[in-house]
Chain A
Amino acid sequence: MNPQQENLISPAQAIIIIINYILGVGILTLPRALADEVGTPDIWITILISSIFPLAVGFIILMLNNRYPKKTFYQYSYKIVGRILSIIICLSMVIYFITLTSFEVRILAEVTETYLLEDTPIQILIILFLWLTLYLNVDGLNSIARMFQIIFPLTVFIFILLALMSLGLFELKNLRPVLGGGIGPVLKGIKTTSLSYIGIEILIILSAFLTDPKKGKKVVFVGVLMPTIFYLVTIVIVIGALSLDGVGNLTWPTITLIHSFEFPGIFFERYDSLFLTIWILQIFATISITLYAASLGLSQLFNKEIKTFMYILLPVAFFISMLPQNLQQAFSLGDMLGNAAILLFGIIPIMLLVLSFLRRKHS
């Protein structure tokens, strides 16, 4: 059975899938991670520079995909590197996607436990979210896309609202001087930021589902541009309000920012729950699409029904998510995933692209 046939998505849906996938843990931790790494208030420049990389990766994957239209990477890779190598690469990608699912759901549960449901065991939170993910997944990519279409406008609305509310704390001096330490420190943060753009790799399956494959470039461009804007706004308001020194010792600087303002007279006082709502939706979106990507990989490799693998992968994801003993280990798992993403989706597609050109020439 080929799940692609009944599951085509429009370019607009593809864009929303990419945006929802990219926005994730980074929006909570990026200000701190970057502040530590860069050490000058110029970290917003780092974001701008770093956004080139996901664009490049996106276009390379797109070029590769366009050589094999209507097929996902899992289906065509054997034509380039042969059966065995192809299985190894595809399985690594499946492992990557399922580990990413576990990592994101773990962070989701950690934050929920810290700020919202103190007494609830973390396992319960993880299981609940994974079940919801499964529920969304069984009807295929199309229903995932439609769900994201609901989530996305809500996210934009609440995000803009909270950004405006925190303007009261904003001080421009915290973002100055621009390039006071030169361009050197700015470049130091590029790797850290690139990890926040994890998500663009979904193109290796996504472009095969497009109703209008010619719009692929637009999908990549807008799909990277929007999260860049989100990250920029987040960085600017968090650093502008809390200052570079002030975020260094905070685990979740963005939530702390929302903890830091108050509007007297309004009945509703805890805006962090509002923010956490959209953030949880974003993570939910991410884990939905990664679980789908992993299941699709297995289903196309072994030519079996995709639902079976969704059920099989669910406990696997739960198991992996319980592996980190504490938050620090979970964060380092995230770093590992980032490195794996650079190898799997940054370097390998370039090599395959070159190889496939060579093959074409030979024949």
Chain B
Amino acid sequence: MKHIFILLRRSFQLVILIPLLAGCWSSRDIEKLDLLIGVGVDTAQEENITSSYYGADSLLTVTYQMAKIKSNQGQNTKKQEDKPYTNVEQTGASLIETAREIIQLRKNTVNGQHQRLIIISREVAENRSIREILDFFIREPEARMSMLVMITDGLAKDILDYMETDDIPSMHIYDITENFDKSNKLLERKSLAKINALMEAQASFILQNVVQTDGELKLSGAAVIKGSTLKLIGFLTEEELKGINWITAQTNGAIVKVEEEGSDKPIIYEQELLKSKITPTIEDDKLSFQVKVKSEGLIIEVATNTESFSEEKTRRKLEEQIAEEIKKEIQTTLERIQKDLQVDVIGFHDYVRIKYPEFWKEHQSDWDTIFSQAPIDYEVQITITDFGLGIQN
């Protein structure tokens, strides 16, 4: 009797261990995954509309870009049109619907854990709040909040299907953004995590614009999203982006060209250090800003035969000339965003929120209006520390 009892107990113990065998319940083989790298969102292209179930104007054409995982590396004949990626286009009223459509086309499961990029076309962003488009990516646990959000002037599907390099376009674009440190014509990386915060705060912001020029992809200028509607209201050019980068002082990649008096030949200043300080002031209930930009750098290219730069007077003059040039760039940008677009895309609101919390609470809802009327003073201070390796005779 006792033996039977022990036997029963043993077998019971074994039975309850069975679920443990399902340890890899959710495992998926990597060959059976489609790694999603980028997503492009366009308004529905006419040829794609198959059903008139939804109003056609609210339909989206979504391009899913997936990396091709080469299963047999040994294949030697590399065909000309062998792209390292596959694009799948689907049309539907919401992103998840289009994502589900893919299941009917592809034998593999789509895995979104490596998605780097989402590109929204101008047409979509002008007509819809971009919150609607991005919501899915915020909710979906598979999607990473580090993905970058960009706008394109043209069609997102074209951007995702350019042929010049044997790179994956989404990865290519993602990698270009790393150059922000070397160029002030680019925009600081805007990941979904940061954009989510801006959208929740109803703040206006700018997104990198991607364009296609002569078969090349280029990050050029920025799209302006208005906080109250979260819709696209305009674009900033590369030159206008420079002004923003002077004020935010996040990049060290600026060069400034000034012309020598008389000869019109260029002298070029390369910035090495940039600091800026924004101070809001409220006097008699009137808000104004003081912006101080300080930069240090060197003269990197000279096409003139100026007498010695080492002379204090020449250097001072040059510094002033450069400062004037930068002021001009800042002025152009400020005029554009204050007068034309009337939105605070630089983040002046943060300084007001920190220094005048009461004022901010009161005026938070119509901040863009207040900002566009606030006078902004700016001064630029340049120090030339170096003349490169070439010594002027």
* Interface residue ranges, A against B (CB under 8 Å): 114-120, 124, 127-128, 131, 169, 173, 176-177, 180-181, 241-243, 245-246, 248-250, 256-257, 259-262, 264, 269-270
A101 to chain B, nearest CB (A): 19
CA distance A249 to B355 in the complex (A): 26
CA distance A208 to B361 in the complex (A): 53
Q: Which of B16, B20, B144 has most chain A Cβ within 10 Å?
A: B144
Instruction: Tell me which residues across on chain A come within 8 A of B146, comparing CB atoms.
Output: 259-262
Instruction: Tell me which residues across on chain B come within 8 A of A169, comparing CB atoms.
Output: 193-194
B227 to chain A, nearest CB (A): 11
* Among B22, B141, B194, B200, contact of A249 (Cβ-Cβ < 8 Å): B200
A119 touches B19 (CB 8 A): no
Question: B201: nearest residue on chain A (CB-CB)?
Answer: A245
A128 touches B20 (CB 8 A): yes
With contacts A180-B357, A256-B145 taken as known, whether A120 is within 8 angstroms of B26 at the C-beta atoms is: yes
Whether B31 sits at the interface, judged by CB under 8 Å, is no
Instruction: Tell me which residues across on chain A come within 8 A of B192, comparing CB atoms.
Output: 260
28 contacts between A and B (CB under 8 A): A115-B141, A117-B26, A118-B26, A120-B22, A120-B25, A124-B22, A127-B19, A169-B193, A169-B194, A173-B350, A177-B353, A177-B354, A177-B355, A181-B361, A242-B197, A246-B197, A246-B201, A248-B200, A249-B138, A249-B196, A249-B200, A256-B193, A257-B193, A260-B192, A260-B193, A262-B144, A264-B178, A270-B113
Q: Which of B26, B113, B196, B361 has most chain A Cβ within 10 Å?
A: B196
Whether B114 sits at the interface, judged by CB under 8 Å, is yes
A246 touches B114 (CB 8 A): no
Instruction: Tell me which residues across on chain B come within 8 A of A256, comparing CB atoms.
Output: 145, 193
With contacts A245-B197, A260-B145 taken as known, whether A181 is within 8 angstroms of B26 at the C-beta atoms is: no
CA distance A120 to B24 in the complex (A): 9
Listed from nearest, the 9 A-B pairs whose CB atoms lie closest are: A246-B197, A180-B357, A260-B193, A245-B201, A245-B200, A117-B26, A243-B197, A260-B145, A120-B25
B25 touches A124 (CB 8 A): yes
A152 to chain B, nearest CB (A): 26
Tell me the B19-36 residues at the A interface (CB within 8 Å): 19-20, 22, 25-26
Instruction: Tell me which residues across on chain A come within 8 A of B197, comparing CB atoms.
Output: 242-243, 245-246
B193 touches A259 (CB 8 A): yes
Instruction: Tell me which residues across on chain B come within 8 A of A176, comparing CB atoms.
Output: 354
Instruction: Tell me which residues across on chain B come within 8 A of A115, comparing CB atoms.
Output: 141
Given contacts A173-B354, A245-B201, 14 further A-B contacts (CB under 8 A): A117-B25, A117-B26, A119-B26, A120-B22, A128-B20, A180-B354, A181-B361, A246-B193, A250-B138, A250-B196, A256-B145, A259-B145, A260-B192, A264-B178
B115 to chain A, nearest CB (A): 11
Instruction: Tell me which residues across on chain A come within 8 A of B332, comparing CB atoms.
Output: none
Whether B228 sits at the interface, judged by CB under 8 Å, is no
CA distance A339 to B201 in the complex (A): 32
Instruction: Tell me which residues across on chain A come within 8 A of B357, comparing CB atoms.
Output: 177, 180-181
Whether B229 sits at the interface, judged by CB under 8 Å, is no
CA distance A124 to B194 in the complex (A): 36
CA distance A246 to B198 in the complex (A): 7
Q: Which of B114, B197, B350, B355 has most chain A Cβ within 10 Å?
A: B197
- Report the count of interface residues on B (CB-CB < 8 A): 29
B138 touches A260 (CB 8 A): no
CA distance A256 to B144 in the complex (A): 8
CA distance A176 to B146 in the complex (A): 24
B244 to chain A, nearest CB (A): 17
* Among B16, B19, B141, B201, contact of A243 (Cβ-Cβ < 8 Å): B201
Instruction: Tell me which residues across on chain A come within 8 A of B138, comparing CB atoms.
Output: 249-250
CA distance A115 to B144 in the complex (A): 11
Instruction: Tell me which residues across on chain A come within 8 A of B196, comparing CB atoms.
Output: 242, 246, 249-250
With contacts A243-B197, A259-B146 taken as known, whether A119 is within 8 angstroms of B141 at the C-beta atoms is: no
Whether B279 sits at the interface, judged by CB under 8 Å, is no
Whether B86 sits at the interface, judged by CB under 8 Å, is no
With contacts A127-B19, A128-B19 taken as known, whether A119 is within 8 angstroms of B144 at the C-beta atoms is: no
B145 touches A119 (CB 8 A): no
CA distance A260 to B137 in the complex (A): 12
Question: B191: nearest residue on chain A (CB-CB)?
Answer: A260
Question: B142: nearest residue on chain A (CB-CB)?
Answer: A118
CA distance A117 to B200 in the complex (A): 30
Instruction: Tell me which residues across on chain B come within 8 A of A127, comparing CB atoms.
Output: 19
Question: A264: nearest residue on chain B (CB-CB)?
Answer: B178
CA distance A115 to B142 in the complex (A): 7
Instruction: Tell me which residues across on chain A come within 8 A of B19, comparing CB atoms.
Output: 124, 127-128
A242 touches B193 (CB 8 A): yes
A116 touches B26 (CB 8 A): yes
CA distance A259 to B142 in the complex (A): 10
1/0 contact string of B79-97 vs chain A (CB within 8 Å): 0000000000000000000
CA distance A118 to B33 in the complex (A): 15
Tell me the B137-157 residues at the A interface (CB within 8 Å): 138, 141, 144-146
A180 to chain B, nearest CB (A): 3
* Among A119, A180, A262, A264, contact of B25 (Cβ-Cβ < 8 Å): A119
B352 to chain A, nearest CB (A): 10
B50 to chain A, nearest CB (A): 31
Instruction: Tell me which residues across on chain B come within 8 A of A116, comparing CB atoms.
Output: 26
1/0 contact string of B8-19 vs chain A (CB within 8 Å): 000000001001
Question: A247: nearest residue on chain B (CB-CB)?
Answer: B197
CA distance A270 to B146 in the complex (A): 11
With contacts A117-B26, A118-B26, A119-B25 taken as known, whether A259 is within 8 angstroms of B354 at the C-beta atoms is: no
Instruction: Tell me which residues across on chain B come within 8 A of A264, comparing CB atoms.
Output: 178
CA distance A118 to B25 in the complex (A): 9
CA distance A176 to B26 in the complex (A): 43
